[in-house]
Amino acid sequence: MLNLFGTGVALITPMNEDFSIDFIGLEKLINHVIEGGADYLVVQGTTGESATMTKEEKKQVLAAAIKINSNRLPIVYGLGGNNTTAVLGEIKQTDFSGVDAILSVCPYYNKPSQAGIIAHYYAIADASPVPVVLYNVPGRTVTNMTAATTLTLADHPNIIAMKEASGNLEQCMTIAAQMTKDFLLISGDDMLTTALRAIGGSGVISVLANAYPSVFKTICHGSLEESRNATFSLLDINPLMYEESNPVGLKYLLKEMNICGDAVRLPLVKASENLSKKIKAAMI
């Protein structure tokens, strides 16, 4: 079984000032998170600005990540959308060499019913040559995947995990209480990772682990007390990552750490002077 326990890093896509991909920065970032104790890499998720990347650019970033990683960690590739037919077409056109699983977001904008969500994911899981990780993030998609929907989908042999970013701990507890021992409940919220660990969660797909992989190593693999204290250390900086939308704050933080630049693509813009000052003051 694919081991996705611990810290998955939702990698940013470093960019040059002309908005082209900064492959040197990507190499520096991947080496930074691997050396810091990350357990797997997530390429082209929301944090990677997948919404404003072309299909060709996504392939280029994936190929570069696979080469840089050099089989050190599992790689999960973001492949989802709100047009099921288009997602199936993208699966057919993707070279999955070096990809261990896909992360597929709940369909957004269309506002499908729970039955529609189930049918969407069944189609993807049937077509995908690698395992599928579900992604529930109603703050972005509007539609929440209920615990019952997650548990129904968990019965599909090619669906192995749920990245839960609803922020609804009772919903997460219902999933944890009824899921099979082979299904993984992964936190989609950095600050709730310890809480999900306590109820049977297997780790996190993290934003801040781009900057602080060693902190998340403690959060995911330390004792619960160590995990709790490591999470508390992020209380000041975490909300700043989302104040002007992810990954704006994170890219500024990584610039301050001399890992890569802070360029983001429109409609996102670089961190404001006010946010930049707050991030500098909160850095750990």
Residues forming beta bridges with residue 103, ordered by sequence position = 78, 133
- As a whole number of angstroms, the distance between CA 73 and CA 236 comes to 30
pLDDT of 2 reads 85
- Is 205 annotated as ligand-binding? yes
Instruction: Record the pTM.
Output: 0.97
The closest of 199, 242, 236 to 215, measured between CA atoms, is 236
Amino acid identity for residue 250 in this structure: L
Whether 280 has a pLDDT exceeding 90, the answer reads yes
**End-to-end distance of the chain based on CA atoms, in angstroms?**
36
Fold of the 6-234 domain: TIM Barrel (3.20.20)
Active-site positions read 135, 163
- For the chain, domain boundaries: 6-234
Please give the average per-residue pLDDT across 104-130, as a whole number. Answer: 98
CB 12, CB 29: distance < 8 Å? yes
- Tens digit of pLDDT for each residue in 235-252? 999 999 999 999 999 999
Cis peptide before 131 (omega within 30 of 0): no
Whether 284 has a pLDDT exceeding 90, the answer reads no
Contacts of 217 (CB under 8 A, 6+ apart): 6, 7, 36, 37, 38
- Tens digit of pLDDT for each residue in 25-36? 999 999 999 999
- Is 47 annotated as ligand-binding? yes
Amino acid identity for residue 230 in this structure: A
